[in-house]
Structure 1
Amino acid sequence: MKTQRRAFLKQTTALLAATGLTGWTEAVARSLNPNAAAADKPYVVFVTGDHEYSGELTLPLIAAELEKNYSMRTKVLTAYPDYNGEKDIPGLEALREADLAVFYLRWRQLPQDQLNFIEDYLKSGKPVMGFRTTTHAFNYPEGDERRRWNAFGEFAFGSPPGWGGAAKHTHYGHQSTTDVTVIPEAASHPILTGVEPSFHASSWLYRVLPDYPAKGAVPLLMGKAVNPDKPAIDNPVAWTWQNQWGGKTFLTTLGHPEDFRLEPFQRMVINAIHWELGKPVPKRWKGKIDINVPYGHPKKF
């Protein structure tokens, strides 16, 4: 039966194409295969679990926007049993079908079988995107054979390999905020289309300099600490890079839930997702996304 349907479809579409009725060709294809339209939409998988910044609450709102206004399919994975669950993110097999993987993680200790899905995805050369604490996504103890994953931020995104220590990856205090400006040399980058040249973010500034982002990275935004708790230097807060498997990457060290309320931040994120997928960034902004998520998880979701 399936063979007959395929033969009929092939004959019908060839006939319609020959008569110039290409629109009807697509219509016939959709009618005979209702899943075709969905299959044509890019599939974005969000992987969340960050203890602190409510990524499992903000990113579903980004996902909903992608589905509503930008013709994409999405899936949001969350830590189990809640955001404090460090050793289980069910559903990572979805990465097998993903066109883009977006990570917002902090200090996870996932089992090897779950890490395998992430490793296979990275080695496929597909694009990856990360937010803030994804620079230190994993936290395996000394002697654990999975400890190399503590450097996930470095090999996936060109960020420092974990938190503190020799990488000097720290921040400038929880009472500080960040003034963000577009780096002039990057102003024409597609990810910055329509992004205001300066805005104020609630995230306290992460230090990644002097050794990161990695060689070959293209910094897009610069951050200046406001009310820092120690002498501060300006640091990149968003950049692109290509990892060793050829995957396009975008990472921002911003990501406080109040950052997600900002229209320039929202627009950068939507643009970056399109850029990572190899799609033109939206010519027309669909408007500010209603995101109002608390910081610090006052209650379980």
Structure 2
Amino acid sequence: MKKLNVCMISGSFEYDSRKSLKIFQKYLAENYPLIETELIVYQDEDDNPSLRILESTDVIIIFTRRIRISGENLERLQEYCQTGKSIIGIRTASHAYENWLDFDTHVLGGSYQGHFGHGPISHVEILESQIEHSILEGISNFDAFGSLYKNPSNAADTTTLMTAKTNQGHCQPVTWIRERQVGESISRVFYTSLGHQDDFHISSFLQMLANAIFWTTRQ
């Protein structure tokens, strides 16, 4: 495996994304030494740290919520997403940027329409048809925390890997992939609507994110 440069972008304050991504950074450092990570942290919704690092990034991991990105940095992000490079979105990435509202539909292939409310644990299950997928290697079904997101009409070119169901009977896709045509290139995209703080203490969740890095980068 070649060295991979991973850029993590934190800006989901409700879910303490900085702390959660640092947990994932530590997991990668302990298990995958050839993955080098850089963490960019937004201090508030109007912060605008440089995204120049995207020029040398192999995969971007976005965990932000309604950030008002603008100017040169918005251009850099949009350019990155049009190069065919790898993209991973976590939870609030479905509404990551207030200045780029169609990032969810255009890039992730999602259809975020709110959530079912706080409280109930979701029972996450691997779709039987996808059990052999490399992203799910070493993964078991698990219970996840946080509200269940509604994504009722994802893009036709997405493939759902996992669904989650609450005790109230609500069931939604929570993990999917997409091979997105970008000019003459194919960009591999992974998204999960999971990502509550407690999810980052679940080994299957961390392993799934690591596997997603390898799948999106074709390693």
Q: Deviations over 1:136-173 (max 9, x none)?
A: 11224xxxxxxxx111111111012xx5xxxxx12111
Deviation of 1:181 after TM superposition, in Å, equals: 0.5
2:124 equivalent to 1:187: no
What residue number does 2:203 align with? 263
CA contact (8 A) 1:221 1:237 kept: yes
Matched, 1:152 2:103: yes
Shift of 1:100: 0.3
SS of the residue 1:243 aligns to: strand
Which gives a bigger RCO, structure 1 or 2 (Cα 8 Å, sep 6+)?
Answer: 2
Q: Distance in 2 between the 1:263 and 1:226 partners?
A: 23
**Structure 1: distance between partners of 2:96 and 2:108:** 11
Q: CA RMSD in A?
A: 1.4
Q: Residues 194 and 267 of structure 1 are in contact (CA less than 8 Å); yes or no, is this contact kept in structure 2?
A: yes
Displacement of 1:271:
1.0
Match of 2:61 among 102, 108, 132: 102
Q: Which amino acid aligns with 2:123?
A: D
**Residue type matched to 1:152 in 2?**
F
Q: For residues 71 and 180 of structure 2, what CA distance do their matches in structure 1 show? A: 22
Residue 194 of structure 2 corresponds to 254
Specify the code of the residue in structure 2 equivalent to 1:207.
K
TM-score (norm 1): 0.68
Q: 1:68 to 1:264 in 2, by over 3 A?
A: closer
Give the Å deviation of 1:176: 1.9
CA contact (8 A) 2:69 2:98 kept: no
> Could you tell me how far apart the structure 1 residues matched to 2:22 and 2:217 are?
19
Distance, in Å, in 2 between the alignment partners of 1:65 and 1:98 is: 19
Is the 2:48–2:70 contact (alpha carbons within 8 Å) kept by the matching residues of 1?
Answer: no
Describe the superposition over 1:224-274 as per-residue Cα deviations: whole angstroms up to 9, x where unpaired: 0235xxxx5311100000224221000000000101111111111111111
- Counterpart CA distance in 2 for 1:89 and 1:277 is 27
Per the alignment, residue 85 of structure 2 pairs with: 126
Instruction: Give the equivalent residue in structure 1 for 2:19.
Output: 57
1:78, distance to aligned residue in structure 2 (A): 0.5
Mapping for residues 284-299 of structure 1, pairs under 5 Å = none
Matches within 5 A, 1:223-242: 223-227=164-168, 233-242=170-179
**Residue 177 of structure 1: CA displacement?**
1.9
Are the aligned partners of 2:60 and 2:86 in contact in 1 as well (CA < 8 Å)?
A: yes
* Partner AA of 1:262 in structure 2: I
Q: 2:96 aligns with which of 115, 137, 141?
A: 137
Q: Which has the larger radius of gyration?
A: 1
Query: Does 2:165 match 1:206?
Result: no
Return the offset for 1:46.
0.4
Query: What TM-score, normalized to structure 2?
Result: 0.93
CA contact (8 A) 1:101 1:128 kept: yes
Contact kept in structure 2, 1:88 and 1:111, CA below 8 Å: no
- 5 Å-filtered alignment, 1:50-89, equals 50-70=12-32, 71-79=34-42, 82=43, 85-89=44-48
Which structure 2 segments of 5+ residues have no match? none
CA distance in 2, matches of 1:274, 1:182: 19
SS in structure 1 opposite 2:13? Answer: coil
The yes-or-no answer on 1:215 pairing with 2:167 is no
Structure 2 counterpart of 1:274: 214
Paired position in structure 2 for 1:41: 3
* Structure (1 or 2) with the greater strand fraction: 2
Secondary structure of 2:170's aligned partner:
coil
8 Å Cα contact 1:101-1:127 kept in structure 2:
yes
Q: How far does the alpha carbon of each residue in 1:87-117 deviate from its partner, in whole angstroms, 9 at most, with x for none?
A: 2241311111000000001011112211011
Matched residue, 2:180: 243
> For 2:125 and 2:30, how far apart are their aligned partners in 1?
30
